[in-house]
Amino acid sequence: MRRAAREKCLIITMSGFKPNNPLKKKGDINLYVNSESYRFVEASHYLYWDFILEMVIDEIKNKNRE
């Protein structure tokens, strides 16, 4: 994360469990899952990544059409 910060990249973190966890504070955007269930937190993170990836793919397709 340090290099990403130096390069001025947008940092997205994904966390769960405790609301005051240290990772939650390190990103520009934090996708936090309010759950103590490891399975639920991981499944939610998977869904976040799936959604983000679909948005990126759609953006690439739209740019290629221009």
pTM, 2 dp: 0.73
Query: Long-range contacts: 18-27, Cβ < 8 Å, 24+?
Result: 26/1
Decide: 11 and 5 in contact? Cβ < 8 Å: yes
Convert 24-43 into a string of H (helix), E (strand) and C (coil). Answer: HHCCCEEEEECCCCHHHHHH
- Report yes or no: 33 and 18 within 8 Å, Cβ to Cβ: no
Q: What is the pLDDT of residues 47-59, one digit of tens each?
A: 999 999 999 999 9
> In the chain, what percentage of residues exceed pLDDT 70?
100
Query: In angstroms, how far is CA 41 from the centroid of its own chain?
Result: 12
